Amino acid sequence: MQVNESIEDYLEQILIQQEKNGCARSVDIATSLGVTKASVSHATKLLRENFYIHMDDDKCITLTESGREIAERMYQRHRVLAQFLVRLGVREETAFADACRMEHDISAETFSAICRHAEKGWK
Amino acid sequence: MQVNESIEDYLEQILIQQEKNGCARSVDIATSLGVTKASVSHATKLLRENFYIHMDDDKCITLTESGREIAERMYQRHRVLAQFLVRLGVREETAFADACRMEHDISAETFSAICRHAEKGWK
DNA sequence: AAGCTTAGTTAGATTTCTCTAACTTGCGTA
DNA sequence: TACGCAAGTTAGAGAAATCTAACTAAGCTT
């Protein structure tokens, strides 16, 4: 399995829910990502087989070390990109939605350039 | 057929070649996009069927009005985004590659915010 | 003319992601 | 206890993009 956009979205969403509730549930992942439970089930099976997540007996999903690493990277990108866009004058909602797609596309070099400017101001 | 990332890339590449050589050729599209001739053939068939391109008897590919509209939008985004990233300190090559993916993802709102800042400076 | 090279097409397979539909399982409540 | 709901799984299908391999068709070159 290669880690692609879809997989990254699942991992990021699991992180968000895990931070909020202690663990993530399939049904909530489905709602947040706008996909069916069947799709989540399929994805979590893959993620489990490749040791990116752990699912305990009562279906509570948590990230493993390697899953968390990817999820944190995506979530950080998501937040920094959204903040950056807001400072460029984009409405918060649009910024968040666009950042959600951009986070998968940019190189480490571009991300660090954006990090440098997301905090500073510009004229 | 819905216009997605892949289709946008084909149209943009056809525009670039059309500007340079008067028309685009399948083999050059394949080389530029890093896909096989078979993939280009499949894509151009779709694009023809949906009236985004025209292919004359000697296989010379040109954009129709509606194809050109999409291609121009993508190419403009590509250039503006790349320029913007360069001004943020990203190396030209990386900027161009990242812009190539970002161009498909950003909303009109985000693009116009970036346009406003791509020309101005920032500190 | 015969053979080579290049461009393009077609057929068929593969991969990836998603869906619907039908199923199991567990829990709560009437 | 029995019913029904909610969560999750499985099977099967479809869409989209790509690939390889084999083909056609034109145009050069000897």
Count Cβ–Cβ pairs < 8 Å, chain A vs chain B.
Answer: 68
Nucleotides of D under 7 A from a protein CB: 6-12, 16-22
Task: For chain A, give the number of residues.
Answer: 123
- DSSP bridge partners of A24: A61
pLDDT at B120: 66
Who among B105, B116, B122 is closest to A101 (CB)?
B105
Chain A CB within 8 Å of residue B4 CB: no
Q: Stated in angstroms, how far is A120 CA from C22 C1'?
A: 56
Q: Which nucleotide is nearest to A3 (CA to C1')?
A: C16
Kindly report the pTM of this predicted structure: 0.91
Query: Which chain B residue is nearest to residue A88, measuring alpha carbons?
Result: B113
Residue A74 has pLDDT above 70, yes or no: yes
Residue A119 has pLDDT above 90, yes or no: no
- Using an 8 Å CB-CB cutoff, list chain B residues near A117: 88, 122
Check residue B62 and report its DSSP letter: E
Chain B CB within 8 Å of residue A41 CB: no
- Enumerate helices (H) and strands (E) in chain B, giving the number of each: 6, 2
| Alpha-carbon gap: B97 to the closest alpha carbon of chain A (Å) | 9
Distance CA A98, CA A81 (A): 9
Distance CA B87, CA B53 (A): 35
pLDDT in tens, chain B (123 residues): 889 999 999 999 999 999 999 999 999 999 999 999 999 999 999 999 999 999 998 999 999 999 999 999 999 999 999 999 999 999 999 999 999 999 999 999 999 999 998 876 543
- Using an 8 Å CB-CB cutoff, list chain B residues near A82: none
Q: Which helix (H) or strand (E) holds A1?
A: none
Query: Which chain B residue is nearest to residue A99, measuring alpha carbons?
Result: B106
